[in-house]
């Protein structure tokens, strides 16, 4: 199984990817245990002492956060790919706001007339980021239909 790591995790591990062989019946928990075994400096970054996720790293399996699958019990195979991301923007500042740079593309860029802007929002997750953006910028009709995101919507963080 291929595992890619991003941002501060690359620095801690000294690499941007690694391969871990996966056997039938193994889960996301098994893979993360191997990662922590190989890179002990990540022990408290990825997993709590009770074996649960710390919340400091998003664990993405084939483009989907494992929290939206079966969590640590999500089955994995050798053909799968993990992406390990630290929190967007590195977390909230002392005032509880995360500061990011937003780059608008396509229809959003045309409507707003801007390509890039600095933006601050309360919190540090995509779940908090998206409503803040939709409240600040008049683009909801471009990215949502019937209360759900359009299937072609793409949010890119750190180029991925």
Residues 77 and 130 in one domain: no
Written as six digits, the tokens of 7 are 């941002």
For residues 12 and 82, membership in a common domain is answered with yes
Residue 129 lies in a domain: yes
- Domain of residue 60 covers 2-86
Domain annotation covers residue 145: yes
In a domain, 59, yes or no: yes
- Radius of gyration (Cα) for the chain, nearest Å? 18
Q: Would you call 29 helix, strand, or coil by DSSP?
A: helix
Q: Do 107 and 79 lie in a common domain?
A: no
Let me know whether 59 and 120 are in one domain. Answer: no
Distance (Å, whole) CA 124 – CA 99: 9
pTM > 0.75: yes or no = no
DSSP 142: H
d(CA 82, CA 80): 7
How would residue 92 be classed by pLDDT, with cut points 50, 70 and 90?
Answer: low
Q: Are residues 70 and 131 in the same domain?
A: no
**Count of structural domains within the chain:** 2
For residue range 107-148, list pLDDT tens digits in order.
888 988 888 888 888 887 878 888 888 888 888 898 888 888
Residues 82 and 101 in one domain: no
Question: Which residues, in sequence order, are CB contacts of 32 under 8 Å at separation 6+?
Answer: 46, 47, 59, 72
Together in a domain, 111 and 142? yes
Pair 30, 78 in one domain: yes
Between the alpha carbon of residue 112 and those of residues 108, 109, 133, 145, 157, the distances in Å are: 6, 5, 12, 19, 20
Angle at 104 between CA 102 and CA 108, to 5 degrees: 135
- Shared-domain flag, residues 75 and 17: yes
Give residues with Cβ within 8 angstroms of 148, minimum separation 6: none
Q: Mind listing the pLDDT tens digit for each residue in 70-88?
A: 999 999 999 999 888 875 5
Distance CA(47)–CA(9), nearest Å, equals 14
Q: Are residues 79 and 6 in the same domain?
A: yes
Same domain membership, residue 59 and residue 7: yes
- Specify if 155 maps to a domain: no
Sign, Cα dihedral of 128, 131, 134, 137? negative
Average pLDDT, the chain: 84
68 domain residue, yes or no? yes
Phi, psi of 110 (to 5 degrees): -60, -45
Q: Of 86, 111, 135, which residue constitutes the final position of a domain?
A: 86
For 16, the token pair is 């941007």
């Amino acid at each position: 199984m291929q595992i890619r790591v991003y941002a501060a995790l690359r620095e801690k591990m000294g690499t941007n990817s690694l391969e871990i062989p996966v056997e039938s019946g193994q889960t996301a928990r098994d893979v993360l245990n191997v990662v922590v075994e190989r890179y002990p400096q990540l022990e408290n970054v990825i997993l709590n002492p009770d074996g649960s996720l710390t919340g400091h790293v998003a664990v993405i399996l084939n483009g989907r956060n494992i929290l939206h699958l079966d969590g640590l019990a999500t089955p994995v195979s050798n053909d799968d790919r993990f992406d390990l991301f630290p929190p967007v923007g590195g977390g909230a500042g002392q005032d509880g706001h995360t500061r990011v740079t937003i780059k608008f593309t396509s229809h959003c860029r045309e409507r707003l007339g801007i390509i890039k802007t600095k933006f601050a929002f309360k919190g540090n997750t995509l779940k908090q980021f998206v409503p803040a953006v939709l409240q600040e910028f008049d683009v909801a009709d471009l990215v949502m239909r019937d209360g759900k995101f359009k299937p072609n919507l793409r949010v890119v963080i750190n180029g991925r």
